[in-house]
Structure 1
């Protein structure tokens, strides 16, 4: 046991060092610290490589990824989801479904992107940004280069929409509630949604967060749905018919989703204080830093060049379409 711990320590120390460096750079530059963690890991992995002494510790990044996803369940407030009302629930269901289907279609048909990358882009833009990317990546056992491309693309649009949405809202003189619902419905990650909403007004911020948290609650359903879909594809590819559907689904099923649901339940039963929920959120953010630093170290630039600019175009076209239609619907409803 002691020897195992010692073999992990150098790699863990390296991941922590890269994570701290990303945090520091993120505090003095406008770049997102998760993007910086990927980039720092990528630089190290493509220059120094992954020496044997750190390989075991760096390889734990998937564990930190899954654990971070589980902890994010504490931020899903089911009472707020219920309080949103049927109109918002229907809008969220429609936006999530439309975005996922549109991105999947564009990725596969128009831009010829591989299935895994397309699915990760669809989940990230349709549900809750990077959290959905990493959750679905574990569900379908996605290639790490696909995860990096999808996560980086989503974070790029987080930065762009954080600036663009308030400008569009001001140009169109959108009412605060309309802007908040629209932002929560069509922007990607919770942080930028909250920032954009409260930058407009308190009312816009409250509606933006409420709608966004309602969308976030779909992450478990989407992760399970993709797990089932890819399990059936693998089974079909193996030409095997001697196992039942439950067995075929359970083997690749992301077991961490069970933990995610458990944390959601514990948090919504009132068993966690506000301070506890905040602490879990901070812990998840640090775990994601370690995970993304390790992910970056295992990426090879030659692999990334094969995909190029296409993921960005896919998400851009989908965002323009869904946000435009979404705004028209929100204005009609509210």
Structure 2
């Protein structure tokens, strides 16, 4: 895609980022949540011209780049201290959420098997990205993908508002709040946004925990592909599916964390990297806000939303109770 085609949307993202930063200073509100709000208003009130859409769609690239750069600010010593416990919680919540959604969808609410699988992947791994990845593996219909994606986006919009409120009411520490958001919220963008809205420490732990969940996407896609292939009498999918679906920016994040922990970066370089990823996050969240469309949310069926709500309540309450005990 040419730079000329991307330029108008990129300029719009930059204007939104600068405006979010300026409003944050004058209003005393978190700049990342303001960035999402500006994108939301732009797409639902003003409307996004077609010529801006290609550039705005690059917001996922800026989010990935910001996450990679954030690796330089991570203390591996702190991660290793509680990392084992957090990893067990990630695995437990991920598996538990997927199982609850599958059981409710198939046995209680009577949803189609593939619809239940899309909802389970979206709620347990990484939101719409997981829905799309699993949809290809299970050969889901277009309307099933649309309903599952809209349901996930509905709860992304809700949790962006609710989680910071709960964190303040319970006076959660940065590590507890960040890990809780990372293990129980759905999509990467909202997780990072609410984490950093709480504190720098919460933002780092929310991102690390969410990356651990995201890294499971290849395994989940492979498992669903194998299940539905056997059901249809087909062959087993290739192990290459694991690599194809693995979020590659996780490797960049880990690599930069190792470089920084080895002392290879000066304090000036670390400050510059921190400033860079802060701006990249603001750019990304302006674009993220444009994806929260009221018309899409209104089209969400009641039954899929009830299924996901039950799973979200169970995973968020149980994971928070566990974190308060072990951290």
- TM-score, L = length of structure 1: 0.67
Aligned mates of 1:307, 1:271 — CA distance in 2: 52
**In the alignment, what sits opposite 1:253?**
246
Matched, 1:297 2:295: no
Report the RMSD for the aligned CA atoms in angstroms.
Answer: 4.0
After TM superposition, the structure 1 stretch with the greater mean CA deviation from structure 2, 227-236 or 262-271, is 227-236
Indicate if the aligned counterparts of 1:68 and 1:288 stay in contact, CA closer than 8 A.
yes
CA 1:110 to 1:30, structure 2 compared with 1: closer, same or farther past 3 Å? farther
**In the alignment, what sits opposite 2:235?**
241
- TM-score, L = length of structure 2: 0.68
1:131-150 alignment, distance < 5 Å: 145=150, 148-150=153-155
Aligned mates of 1:184, 1:48 — CA distance in 2: 33
Aligned mates of 2:99, 2:56 — CA distance in 1: 35
CA 1:297 to 1:118, structure 2 compared with 1: closer, same or farther past 3 Å? same
After TM superposition, the structure 1 stretch with the greater mean CA deviation from structure 2, 72-81 or 235-244, is 235-244
Q: Deviations over 1:126-170 (max 9, x none)?
A: xxxxxx76987897699875664454344324412331222xx8x
Instruction: Work out which of the residue numbers 32, 35, 40 in structure 2 matches 1:34.
Output: 32
Aligned mates of 1:272, 1:159 — CA distance in 2: 33
Instruction: Work out which of the residue numbers 274, 279, 284 in structure 2 matches 1:281.
Output: 274
**In the alignment, what sits opposite 2:86?**
92
* Residue 235 of structure 1, CA deviation: 6.1
Indicate if the aligned counterparts of 2:66 and 2:277 stay in contact, CA closer than 8 A.
yes
Unaligned runs of 5+ in 1: 124-131, 170-178, 196-208
Unaligned runs of 5+ in 2: 110-114, 136-144, 183-193
Instruction: Work out which of the residue numbers 189, 208, 219 in structure 2 matches 1:228.
Output: 219
* Residue 60 of structure 1, CA deviation: 1.8
Q: Deviations over 1:279-301 (max 9, x none)?
A: 32332232222223223334432
CA 1:22 to 1:147, structure 2 compared with 1: closer, same or farther past 3 Å? farther
How many residue pairs get aligned? The number is 290
Aligned mates of 2:124, 2:8 — CA distance in 1: 36
Matched, 1:323 2:320: yes
Q: Secondary structure at the match of 2:170?
A: helix
Aligned mates of 2:208, 2:90 — CA distance in 1: 11
Instruction: Work out which of the residue numbers 68, 74, 77 in structure 2 matches 1:76.
Output: 74
Matched, 1:164 2:155: no
